[in-house]
C-alpha cells in the first residue's frame, strides 16, 4: 500500500488556475475510476471536493474539477481564491476494500 505521489507544494495568484497531480499505479489510480480529492484547512477535518475522478458533491464550486489519464489523476482549481489555500489530498480505491491516499499538496494563493 504505497502512498500516491503528489507534489508537496503548488501555488498561483488570485484568478489563476492551478493543477495538482496525483500519480499511482496500474493497481490503484490506473485500475479504477475511483479517485477522490479532499481539501483540508489547518486544524480542520478534510472535506470531499471530487469523487469518481471528476464528480463534484453538492455545494462544491465548479471552479474545482478533476480528470485522469492512465495512472495519473489531476485536480484543477480555476479562478483561484484566497479561501482555496489549503492542503489537498488525492485518494484512490486500491482493491480489496482498501483505499490509498497521496502525500498531500500544500496550495498557496500568492
Contacting another protein within 15-34 (CB under 8 A):
32-34
Candidates 9, 15, 16, 55: give the one binding another protein (CB under 8 A). 55
Please tell me the distance from the alpha carbon of residue 74 to that of residue 56, in angstroms, as a whole number: 14
Residue 3 contacts residue 68 (beta carbons within 8 Å): no
Q: Does 47 bind another protein (CB under 8 A)?
A: yes
Q: Which helix (H) or strand (E) holds 81?
A: none
Place of cell 496550495: 107
Q: Does 104 bind another protein (CB under 8 A)?
A: yes
Q: How far apart are the first and last CA of the chain?
A: 34
In the complex with another protein, which residue's Cβ is closer, 36 or 65? 36
**Integer angstrom CA distances of residue 88 from 28, 75, 95:** 18, 9, 23
Q: Does 101 bind another protein (CB under 8 A)?
A: yes
Q: Does 59 bind another protein (CB under 8 A)?
A: no
Q: Does 88 bind another protein (CB under 8 A)?
A: no
Q: Does 102 bind another protein (CB under 8 A)?
A: yes
User: How many residues in the chain?
Assistant: 110
Candidates 7, 48, 63, 85: give the one binding another protein (CB under 8 A). 48
Amino acid at each position: 500500500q504505497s502512498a500516491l505521489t503528489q507534489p508537496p507544494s503548488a501555488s498561483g495568484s488570485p484568478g489563476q488556475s492551478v493543477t495538482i497531480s496525483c500519480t499511482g499505479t496500474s493497481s490503484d489510480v490506473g485500475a479504477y475510476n475511483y479517485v477522490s480529492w479532499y481539501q483540508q484547512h489547518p486544524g480542520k477535518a478534510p472535506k470531499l471536493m471530487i469523487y469518481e475522478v471528476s464528480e463534484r458533491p453538492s455545494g462544491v464550486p465548479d471552479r474545482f474539477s478533476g480528470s485522469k489519464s492512465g495512472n495519473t489523476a489531476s485536480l484543477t482549481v480555476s479562478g483561484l481564491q484566497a479561501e482555496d489555500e489549503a492542503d489537498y489530498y488525492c485518494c484512490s480505491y486500491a482493491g480489496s476494500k482498501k483505499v490509498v491516499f497521496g502525500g498531500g499538496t500544500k496550495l498557496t494563493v500568492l
